[in-house]
Amino acid sequence: MSDSIHVRTWRGPLAEFVIGAYRGQLCLLDYRYRRLRQRVDQRVQRNLGASFLEADDPVIDATIAQLEEYGRGERQQFELPLRLAGSEFQQAVWQALMAVPYGGTASYGELAERLGQPQAVRAVANANGANALALVVPCHRIIGRRGELVGYGGGLELKRRLLRLEQEHVGQLPLFADLLNAETDDE
């Protein structure tokens, strides 16, 4: 691997992130203490044919600024150049995730339907879990088929906080307020 992915860790009000930029594009925005951290990092590096190098980068700076705005409820959509590092199917799922509006939710089954592959619910769930661009590719907006909160790389408590933040800033009552306020075992 001869190319570099500039990486930096950043602790924000929502969580601590690892942020990576490759050739002027955001390729990594993931939770620093995610259980699958090493697997995500290896996949991104392999897909891009590059290795990590701790360095400052204008894309990382822009990402941090937009994360801060998002955390204050001032930003509903990220405007960053993206480099999605994954298979064609994973990238299709991630594009579908980006179509789920701020403050909204969808189920894995709904995403599979949108992709024209209703039988691919499990594959959609796996692609969702492989997402290396938390918040920007909003996998936190995916819920179970019965409206329940399901796994999230940042943990279910953070997922609940993110959904609550978004729903408060679009001026709607949570669609499943009982789930957002309920105690849940974190993964």
Catalytic residue IDs: 139
Q: How far is the C-alpha of 75 from the C-alpha of 88, rounded, in Å? A: 29
What letter represents residue 144's amino acid?
Answer: G
3-state DSSP assignment of residue 182: coil
Which letter does DSSP use for residue 139 in this model?
A: G
The closest alpha carbon to 129, from 102, 159, 101, belongs to 159
C-alpha distances out from residue 60 to 24, 86, 154, Å: 9, 20, 20
Cβ 29 vs Cβ 133: under 8 Å? yes
DSSP-based three-state secondary structure for 19 = strand
d(CA 119, CA 138) in angstroms, rounded, equals: 22
